Amino acid sequence: MRANRREFTLGALTAIAAASGWSVAAKAADNKTIAVLFDGLYSEFWVAGLQIIRDDLKKRGFGIQEAISDKDDNKQFEQVRAAIAKKVDGIIIVQTDSNAVIPAIKAANKAKIPMVHFNRPPAKTDAFSVAIQADNQKIAREAVLYSCGVAKDSGKKHKAAILIGNLGDPNAIQRRDGFDEAVKQFPDNVEVVARIPTEWDADKAFAGLTNALQANPDISFVFTSSDFLLPQIIQSLKAANKWAPVGDEKHVILTGFDGFPSAYELMKDKYMDACGVQNLFFETTLAMQAILDLQAGKPVEKLLLDPGFAITQANIEAKKDEMWGYTLWKQKNG
């Protein structure tokens, strides 16, 4: 039963990718193998990302060599060396540390094996690799701009809290910057009174938001840098008697980021106003195309951006099919 469900998920994700118009060139792979090296499967985003990559590779006829490093940079370097020793045809990598991955890039360069960083770019280096990254700043800005518009329409000035991710994670910083760019455009409608560093830790997020609500009981605007913190936000808002849907006087304008299934559910139930969505399907296609182009000797930019999009209460019906979280939610709920 479980295997069937997984197969259904993979099929559904692929169908969405194909239906969305991103070309999935079914090129004959001639027994080529791609190493897919993740640092961990720490949220549904990464689980879904790995599934989509697996399915894409399978569809193209590539073999796949998977490894998880559990956030151990040395272990991941060994995994890269093992992949090089096996003469793989490309490496898709999600590293933990943007600097620690540089020796791995250099090793891949020396072996003339193309390396693509999935969703997380490396630090600046003279070694060559291609990074696929969501345009975090733009996506966050678009989502928060919608919510700022909602704040403006309410005719009130809202006090805002932002849950910031790990300060050492470029994605978290770009999302924070996108938030800041948006709220700066609405100085009369949104005032940021709490900046909560979560270190991507659920416990710190819960405590931080609870404390912020203690200091500012009138907070009515919350942005989370990742949807995986939504359960803690719900708990904090419930404890503060502020958990209410759009239209209710107690409603807190809530904006998420990532596009998790839980985010879709909250959008559907009108508890969340907007969510910045990373387009996992597009990012996978970009990664595969980059490897194919590099193998063919074509020039490829070092950074390829996924523009992503903001899903809002205004466009949810039109955009939900592009949201990976909706695909997973639909698979689970029928």
Partner 1 sequence: MKSGNRLALLGLQNAPLILFVVVLLTFGLMSDRFLAIANFRNIVIQAAPIGILAIGMTFVLLTAQIDLSIGATMYLTASVLALAFTGLPWPVALLLVTVLAAVVGAINGLIVTVLGVASFITTLSTLFVLRGVAMWMSETRTLPFPDRITDLNRAGVLGIPSAILAFAAIFALAWVVLHQTAFGRQIYAVGEDAEAARKAGIPAKRITFACFVICALCAGVGGFVTVTQIGAVGPKYGDQVEFAAVAAAVLGGVSLFGGRGSVAGTVFGAILIKTVQNGLNIVNADPYIYPLVTGSIIFLAVAVDGLRTRILDTLNRRTIRPLQAN
Task: Tell me how far, at minimum, the Cβ of 62 lies from partner 1, in Å.
Answer: 24
Q: What type of residue sits at position 106?
A: K
Task: Tell me how far, at minimum, the Cβ of 51 lies from partner 1, in Å.
Answer: 11
Residue ranges in 169-188 that form contacts with partner 1 under rule CB under 8 A: none
Is residue 167 a contact point for partner 1 (CB under 8 A)? Answer: yes
- Looking at the Cβ atoms of 150 and 194, the one nearer to partner 1 is 194
Task: Tell me how far, at minimum, the Cβ of 8 lies from partner 1, in Å.
Answer: 15
Is residue 98 a contact point for partner 1 (CB under 8 A)? Answer: no
Q: What type of residue sits at position 260?
A: F
Q: Residue 303, by phi and psi: left (phi above 0), alpha (psi -120 to 50) or beta?
A: beta
- Lookup: tokens for 175: 């999302």
Angle at 269 between CA 153 and CA 225, to 5 degrees: 70
Is residue 164 a contact point for partner 1 (CB under 8 A)? Answer: yes
Task: Tell me how far, at minimum, the Cβ of 167 lies from partner 1, in Å.
Answer: 6
Q: Binding partner 1 by CB under 8 A: which of 179, 206, 257, 326?
A: 206
* Residue 20 CB coordination number (10 Å): 13
- Looking at the Cβ atoms of 19 and 202, the one nearer to partner 1 is 202
Is residue 245 a contact point for partner 1 (CB under 8 A)? Answer: no
Q: Binding partner 1 by CB under 8 A: which of 62, 146, 179, 200?
A: 200
46 CA to centre of own chain = 8
CA–CA separation, 166 and 182 (whole Å):
21
> What letter would DSSP give residue 248?
S
Residue ranges in 283-312 that form contacts with partner 1 under rule CB under 8 A: none
Is residue 144 a contact point for partner 1 (CB under 8 A)? Answer: no
The answer for residues whose C-beta is within 8 angstroms of residue 130's C-beta and 6 or more apart is 114, 115, 116, 117, 290, 294, 300, 301, 302, 303, 304
Is residue 195 a contact point for partner 1 (CB under 8 A)? Answer: yes
Q: Binding partner 1 by CB under 8 A: which of 69, 98, 174, 232?
A: 232
Residue ranges in 27-66 that form contacts with partner 1 under rule CB under 8 A: 40-44, 46-47
Whether the Cβ atoms of residue 197 and residue 164 lie closer than 8 Å to each other: yes
Is residue 137 a contact point for partner 1 (CB under 8 A)? Answer: no
Stretch of residues binding partner 1 (CB under 8 A), selected from 58-66, 99-107, 141-149, 201-209: 201-209
- Lookup: tokens for 114: 């193309």
Residue ranges in 248-277 that form contacts with partner 1 under rule CB under 8 A: 262
- β-bridge mates for residue 203, sequence order: none
- Lookup: tokens for 308: 């992503």
Site size toward partner 1, by CB under 8 A: 36
Q: Binding partner 1 by CB under 8 A: which of 54, 59, 157, 204?
A: 204
Helix pair 44-60, 324-333: axis angle to 10 deg:
90
Is residue 202 a contact point for partner 1 (CB under 8 A)? Answer: yes
Report which of 165, 191, 193 is spatially closest to residue 177, judged by C-alpha positions. 165
Is residue 194 a contact point for partner 1 (CB under 8 A)? Answer: yes
- β-bridge mates for residue 221, sequence order: 160, 253
The answer for residues whose C-beta is within 8 angstroms of residue 244's C-beta and 6 or more apart is 250, 251, 252, 271
- Looking at the Cβ atoms of 60 and 195, the one nearer to partner 1 is 195
| CA dist 14 → 11, 18, 20, 56, 59 (Å) | 5, 6, 10, 7, 9
Is residue 234 a contact point for partner 1 (CB under 8 A)? Answer: yes
Is residue 215 a contact point for partner 1 (CB under 8 A)? Answer: yes
Binding region for partner 1 (CB under 8 A): 40-44, 46-47, 164, 167, 193-197, 200-208, 210-212, 214-215, 228, 231-232, 234-235, 238-239, 262
